[in-house]
Amino acid sequence: MKFSQLPVLALAATAIAAPPVQKRAGGCSSAVKLDASTNVWKKYTLHANSFYRGEIEAALSSMDESTAAKAQEVAKVGSFLWLDTIENINKLQPVLDDGVPCDHILGLVIYDLPGRDCAAKASNGELKVGEINKYKTQYIDVVAGLLKANPNTAFALVIEPDSLPNLVTNSDVQACKNSAAGYRDGVAYALKTLNLPNVVMYLDAGHGGWLGWDANLKPGAQELAKAYKAAGSPKQFRGIATNVAGWNSWDMSPGEFASASDAKYNKCQNEKIYVTEFGAALKSAGMPNHAIVDTARNGVQGLREEWGNWCNVKGAGFGIRPSADTGLELADAFVWVKPGGESDGTSDSSAVRYDSFCGKSDAYQPSPEAGQWHQAYFEDLINNANPSF
């Protein structure tokens, strides 16, 4: 229940009067050199970046006192910063200026391929098919320049969510056919150019309900391995990122869709099994196979009507906090890649970027455009968090 206007204003005043978050010391005293042959998350903590913290702080005044207190705890949890347009590269410098302690690693999502999100509409990008040179020179090269200019800071990169998995399972979609060459060229260029001593890289690999099907494991691994090899087998490449912006459980058994009629064709009913099975396929394909798993919004299971439903799932809650304690050697860490509270896509069917998945009965409605702040949904994530705040 929301407070009346007076208590809300009082809460806002209290928040404003509270001591400001102290600026952290920035970076290390010398250049960072990450060993991508090891699990860097055992040494580094995922940084709680100031951009996401700012989004949360701006949302406090519209919450009741209990939820606002929990939200302030969410703001302390490390999460990835999405550089999803050329303009949004500008988000990075203020985060660096705010300070990243020497024992922290700053997570960044590289996400701006030409013809992005070829099998959906909600997250279509700014670059058109064929604008690969613009991607390389105005996006990847600029990001690389910033990482080089901050050698004393550690960075973890998730490379191009949904891109290569789409080429495996949506090859019959014309938009994906058109985008394929640019995806492969762009991903290889990103891996090669961002191969810096202070960086560790993970290539997006979808999730168990996507590439985990028996028929997709081998071709999926081969597609990703081709990109890794085309990049020259970069030294700072560690493996894959799974469940990015997703909902799958880490180790729920039986899995959420284990009773479905087609479950016999997919043994990867949770992400733990997927990391193991796909990891084996990657090893056979000649690619590093360790993983990070996005647990930002998988705290509640049994919400989706179908495994492929991905948009603003109703009833979801924040999940396991970032940690290197996964219990599986192949899984480097649980991380929060998707900043909870940023929408997956609009439910407005008249919008240009409307995707029908955002209008399904298990999708929260109304919802704003992808990436925009979704206040009501954020509050649900807090109140449904498992473990709770």
Q: Label the pairing between strands 104-110 and 154-159.
A: parallel
Residue 18: what pLDDT?
A: 37
**Cα separation values, 303 from 135, 261, 382, Å:** 37, 18, 16
Rounded Cα distance, 298 and 38, in Å: 27
DSSP state of 23: P
Alpha helices in the chain, H assignment, sequence order: 5-17, 50-59, 65-74, 92-98, 132-134, 141-148, 163-169, 174-193, 214-230, 271-285, 375-383
Whose tokens are 């084996």? That residue is: 280
Q: Give pLDDT, residue 122.
A: 77
Contact 345, 365 (CB under 8 A): no
pLDDT at 16: 35
On the 0-12 / 13-18 / 19+ scale of CB atoms within 10 A, 213 is middle
pLDDT score for 155: 98
Spell out where 231-389 has E strands.
237-242, 290-294, 331-335
Q: By the 8 A CB rule, do 207 and 246 touch?
A: yes
For position 35, what pLDDT does the model report?
Answer: 98
Give pLDDT tens digits along the chain (389 positions). Answer: 332 332 333 333 333 333 343 444 478 999 999 999 999 999 999 999 999 999 999 999 999 999 999 999 999 999 999 999 999 999 999 999 999 999 999 999 999 999 999 998 877 899 999 999 999 999 999 999 999 999 999 999 999 999 999 999 999 999 999 999 999 999 999 999 999 999 999 999 999 999 999 999 999 999 999 999 999 999 999 999 999 999 999 999 999 999 999 999 999 999 999 999 999 999 999 999 999 999 999 999 999 999 999 999 999 999 999 999 999 999 999 999 999 999 999 999 999 999 999 999 999 999 999 999 999 999 999 999 999 99
| Active site positions, annotated | 117, 162
Nearest to 136 by CA among 114, 108, 164: 114
* The pLDDT value given to residue 121: 82
What pLDDT, on the 0 to 100 scale, is given for residue 8?
Answer: 33
Predicted pLDDT at 22? 40
Q: How far apart (Å, rounded) are the C-alpha atoms in residues 27 and 105?
A: 9
